[in-house]
Structure 1
Amino acid sequence: MSIPEITQALLAAKKEKGLTFADLEKILGRDEVWIASVFYRQASASEEEAKLLVEALGLDTIYVRELSEYPVKGLGPIVPTDPLIYRFYEIMQVYGMPIKEVIHEKFGDGIMSAIDFTLNIEKEEDSKGDRVKVIMSGKFLPYKKW
């Protein structure tokens, strides 16, 4: 996966400033995962959010416009090769149908929204090795009958 030039610039500025996405969460008042999605151009910031982000990173104001434009979303039509991203793909390959079945049992025929959606990542300390806790919460959207 190639990383857009703007993403490279944002990540470099973040590193140079010694900031984390959690630090930027405090500045913008938005979740760290959402902010990271703006960096990777999977989400767009409002002009005000983009200004705060650009200011925090010490970047030129020309980035404000690009960060507030509508992004092109998705990784593309290929199977991801980055090991961490691939594991999520693998999880869906193995558990996708069971997840779908359980959601249908609990909610009926429909989908989980990726638009009315939140994603949080937590670190769980464990004596056998720290664990990654991913919490996805999306609005249930039933299929319409007509």
Structure 2
Amino acid sequence: MARSKITEKLLAAKQAKGITFEDLEKIVGRDETWIASVIYRQASADLEEATKIVTALGLSESMAEPLTIPPLKGSLEPTIPTDPLIYRFYEIMQVYGMPLKAVIHEKFGDGIMSAIDFTLEVEKVEDPKGDRVQVSMCGKFLPYKKW
């Protein structure tokens, strides 16, 4: 996946400042994964949120404006499943896959979540606006081996 130039600048500034997505969560008042989605250009922020992000990263306020533009979502290869429910998980990974990967790597290091030592729970959450599906995934973290 080719990253946008603004994503590259934001990530470089984030790394240079030693700021985590969790730090940005405290500054912006939004969830860290959502903030990662903005940085990876999979979500858009309002001008106040965008300004908080770029200011925290020590960047010019002029960099905030592009973060308010609705992005073209989806950054993974286009192998599209046909089953509607499975497609929704594909769509979720298109939009949140890279931000989720970034947050996991930031918290655990370079590795993957096991799909073998793994649990998946689906809960029905009643909501007057329409019942919701709650999916919880819990997999053992597997760091990449160095040799």
TM-score for both structures, normalised by structure 2: 0.56
* C-alpha distance in 2 between matches for 1:132 and 1:29: 31
For each residue in 1:14-52, what CA deviation from the matched residue of structure 2 results, as whole angstroms up to 9, or x when unmatched?
011110000100001111100000001000000000111
For each residue in 1:100-128, what CA deviation from the matched residue of structure 2 results, as whole angstroms up to 9, or x when unmatched?
59xxxxxxxxx7996xxx9987879xxxx
* C-alpha distance in 2 between matches for 1:133 and 1:29: 30
Q: Larger Cα Rg: Structure 1 or Structure 2?
A: 1
Cα separation, partners in 2 of 1:134 and 1:66, compared to 1, 3 Å? farther
Q: CA deviation at 1:78?
A: 3.0
Q: CA deviation at 1:140?
A: 5.2
- 2:22 is matched with 22
Alignment of 1:69 with 2:91, yes or no, is: no
Cα separation, partners in 2 of 1:132 and 1:57, compared to 1, 3 Å? farther
Unaligned ranges ≥5, structure 1: 80-88, 102-110, 142-146
Cα separation, partners in 2 of 1:4 and 1:58, compared to 1, 3 Å? same
Cα separation, partners in 2 of 1:77 and 1:56, compared to 1, 3 Å? same
Which amino acid letter does the alignment assign opposite residue 22 of structure 1? E
Unaligned ranges ≥5, structure 2: 133-147
For each residue in 1:70-102, what CA deviation from the matched residue of structure 2 results, as whole angstroms up to 9, or x when unmatched?
1110125535xxxxxxxxx9xxx7xx97xx59x
Cα separation, partners in 2 of 1:31 and 1:76, compared to 1, 3 Å? same
Which amino acid letter does the alignment assign opposite residue 57 of structure 2? L
